[in-house]
Amino acid sequence: MQRREFIQQTGIMGTVFLLSPAEVYKIKARHVGIQMWSVRGFADKDPIGTISKLAAMGYREIEGHKYADGKFYTWTPKEFRTQLKNAGLKMPSAHTAVNLQSWDAQKQDLSDGMKRCIDAHAELGVKQLLCPHIDKEYRNEEDINKLTGILNHVGALCKKAGMQFGYHNHDFEFSKTNGKYMMDTIMVQTDPDLVIWEMDLYWVKFAHEDPIQWIKKYPGRINAFHVKDMANTAGHETIEVGDGTIDFANIFSHSKEAGVKYFIVELEHYRTNSMDGVEKSLRNLKGILETSNKQ
């Protein structure tokens, strides 16, 4: 099952001496993390062991996806924050489902469940909460118009809680309805101050779109990149960062224009296994970031 269908920096320091002070600042100022969906097969069975191994690889941040009923995996926000701290990790970014059920039509307000979700992520210390998906049945003009209103309300409550809210794309947002891209509708009908874009570079390319052109279209509004590469195969599967066809260095050279703070590895397919894949991806990503700084 692909991520799109499921909703629920020590290595840098080894090369710092080769870089100018300005380049060092640029790399250190960037948040490099991993979306935990990438290693769900390990994390669902042994979350503590998995995050400890990720920290040992050099990851310092994770992006969560495993929230339900007030808990992250089996822990309360306070408990999970302690577990992460003990492993040397933080979770500044997270995905959580937002849909038409997130709005209580009778109360004309966000649902109680959505409010609890926002509060739990704020208590954990999340700085960026993201809607990662739109279910197939809602990918029509009427429902998208309703959903963008809900996204604004979620964004306003997130802002009040000290978080930035945003939307994460797949490829379907680059299909047209009545001559309009769904991604344009989402961006135009949401408040730039309340709803940013976490651009998944792989899915933009999979949709035969140019990430740089979209950056130029919405400069300053793209707070994060999801980074996974594209295999040179007929199926264009995801692959470890640096092993595929995406020119990340060129795209990353536009990250300041985009407004990007977070670079987050996410994998759906691997050459060996997900843990080896995300370790190789982190190593390659750091090298690419250094290259893009010099462009």
Question: What pLDDT is attached to residue 257?
Answer: 97
152 close to 194: Cβ distance less than 8 angstroms: yes
Question: Which residues are 263's β-sheet partners?
Answer: 32, 225
Q: Is the pTM of this model over 0.95?
A: no
Task: Quote the CA–CA distance of 180 and 86 in Å, as a whole number.
Answer: 47
Q: Which domains does the chain have, with CATH numbers?
A: 3-263+280-293 (3.20.20.150)
The residue to which tokens 């997270």 are assigned? 94
Torsional sign, CA 227, 230, 231, 236:
positive
What proportion of the chain, given as a percentage, has pLDDT over 70? 89
3-state secondary structure at position 216: helix
User: SS3 sequence, 51-107?
Assistant: HHHHHHHCCCEEEECCEECCEECCECHHHHHHHHHHHCCEEEEEECCCCHHHEECCC
CA 286 to chain CA mean position, Å: 17
Question: What pLDDT is attached to residue 294?
Answer: 61
| Average pLDDT of the residues in 252-266 | 96
pLDDT in tens, 80-113: 999 999 999 999 999 999 999 999 999 999 999 9
